Structure formats: C-alpha cells, structure tokens
Amino acid sequence: MKKVFIVVAIIFAILIVAPFTGVFYTVKVNEQAIVTYLGKVVKVIDKPGLYVKVPFLYNVSYLSKMLLEYDAPVSEILTKDKKTLLLDNYCRWKINDPLKFYLSVRDVYGAMSRIDDIIYSEMRIELGQHTLTEVVSINRNEIMANVTKAAKEKAKVYGIDIHDIRIKRADLPPENEKAVYERMRAERVRIAKQYRSEGIEEGRKIKAKTEKEKKIILAEAYKKVQEIKGATDAKVVKIYADAFKQDPNFFEFIKTLDVYSDVLTKDSKYFLSTNTKLLKLLNKGDTE
C-alpha cells in the first residue's frame, strides 16, 4: 500500500511540475510547429493538439499558417525614362513549407528581410522596363502581376508563398516634383492652345460655309423675285397694251400728259422745237 502511495505521489508531482518544465506543448489551429533536438530538426507538426516532449533537450518553434502581410519601407526605383520614383509597397504571404522556411530564414523577421530583398530586386528589374507614365497610370496592374509572378518563384526556395504584391503609393522625390509639375503644366497649356486653334479654324470654316449658303439663298431668292416681277410686268404691259390698243390716240395723249407732269416744273425754262408734240399741246392749251 505504501508503494502505491509513493507511485501516485510521484505521478501527481510530475503532473504539477510538468507544465513548468516544458514537458507539454500545444499546437493551435492556426499554427504549425518545428521540433528540434539539440538544434537539429526532428519533427514538423501541422495538426493542432497537445503534445509531449523531453524538456531541455527538445525545443519547439511555432510558425503561423495564416496569411501574413509585409509592409516594405519606401525605396527608390529608377524607371525606363530615367525618372526616380519613391515606391511604398506591401506584400501578402504565407509559410508554404515550414521545414524549408525554418532551415533557410528561421523566423518571420528573417523571412521579411529576404522578401524585402526579392521584391526590391524584381521591382527594379520590372520598373526599369517602363516609363514613369506607364508606372503611375497605364500599366500598373500588369507591372505588379509580373513582379508578383517573379517574386513568387524566387521565394519558393525559402518555403514562402507570395500571394500578392501591390504599390500603395508612388511619389517623385521632392527635388523632382516641381520640374515634373511644370512640364505637366506646359503640356496642358500646349494642348489647350491646340484646342483653341482648332476651334478657331473650325469656326472660320463654319462661318465661311454659312456665308456661302447665305449668298446662294439670297441669289436664289432674288432670281425668284425677278422672275415673279418680270412675269407681273409682262402681265401689266399686256393689260395696258390691250386697253390702249382699243384707242391709240387716247394712249398717246395719256403718255404725253405723263411726260408733261414730269418735265414741267415751276420757273423752268425749256427750248423746244416747233415740231415737238409737247409744244403743240402747250400752244393748244393757250389757245383754248
């Protein structure tokens, strides 16, 4: 009975002391563990649970299974057109092969240092093939897809899986901003002048076309008026001719009176031939 009591006491003591000596360790759902014996890797655990190890001789390192994010420091990159850009980028990654990861970079801090080197190298290569305009506005998605693909291949040897690399911000160095803004302003002024010049030219064309159409319309209207007037005059002449044809002497008398009213004014002096009908008419009027 005494022996049983001693065994139970020993087991109870072990259970009490074990947590403090590191006999038990727990691997969480979002973790994976590397177990080493005197610095040498002996086991990789990727399933959650409670595990036992010999204290002091075995050591456990925990690695995350989750998607991690690395926010890179701002770095200078030279573009194809020799423009310096200050790039602020980030990367999302995870540990794909815990054994490779542990043997090559040890921990997250070592991984971030290696990722930074890889991304900077690929960024420098890829952006060196594009101009500043392409990087800032046109081909950014394509550029980052190429950088991600190349960085992903290089990171595999470290047990790292790079999911995505994105540019948060791309700025010019302060000393270059003013010069670039001035060039942009000059370019916008040039484009504005071109638009104004094209507008003035187009306005002149429209005005010339309008003036031409106006002259054509007026000419056609004048032609039509003259045609109407000619036709009307012809009808009037015909009416007069038909009327006066019935009494030619009366017609001659009327025409003479028209001339008389036009040429004779007060205090006017005229020299007339004796054979002039107007003189005869005047003399006739004096006789009567």
Architecture of the 68-172 domain: 2-Layer Sandwich (3.30)
Q: Do the Cβ atoms of 81 and 132 come closer than 8 Å?
A: yes
For position 264, what pLDDT does the model report? 65
pLDDT digits (tens, 9 = 90+) for 273-284: 666 666 666 666
> Residue 221 is inside which H or E element, if any?
helix 174-245
For position 149, what pLDDT does the model report? 93
- Percentage of the chain modeled with pLDDT above 90: 41
For position 23, what pLDDT does the model report? 82
Question: Which ranges in the chain are annotated with CATH 3.30.479.30?
Answer: 68-172
For position 20, what pLDDT does the model report? 47
Give the amino acid at 81: D
Q: Do the Cβ atoms of 158 and 105 come closer than 8 Å?
A: yes
Place of tokens 């190429």: 146
Under 8 Å CB-to-CB from 28, ≥6 apart: which residues? 48
For position 287, what pLDDT does the model report? 46
Give me the average pLDDT of each 10-residue run along the chain (288 residues): 56 49 84 92 92 88 93 87 86 94 93 93 89 76 89 94 89 70 83 91 92 91 90 83 74 71 66 66 55
Under 8 Å CB-to-CB from 105, ≥6 apart: which residues? 111, 113, 114, 158, 159, 160
Q: How many CB atoms lie within 10 A of CB 208?
A: 10
Backbone phi and psi for residue 40, each to the nearest 5 degrees, phi listed first: -100, 130
3-state secondary structure at position 177: helix
Average pLDDT along the chain: 82
Backbone phi and psi for residue 264, each to the nearest 5 degrees, phi listed first: -90, 115
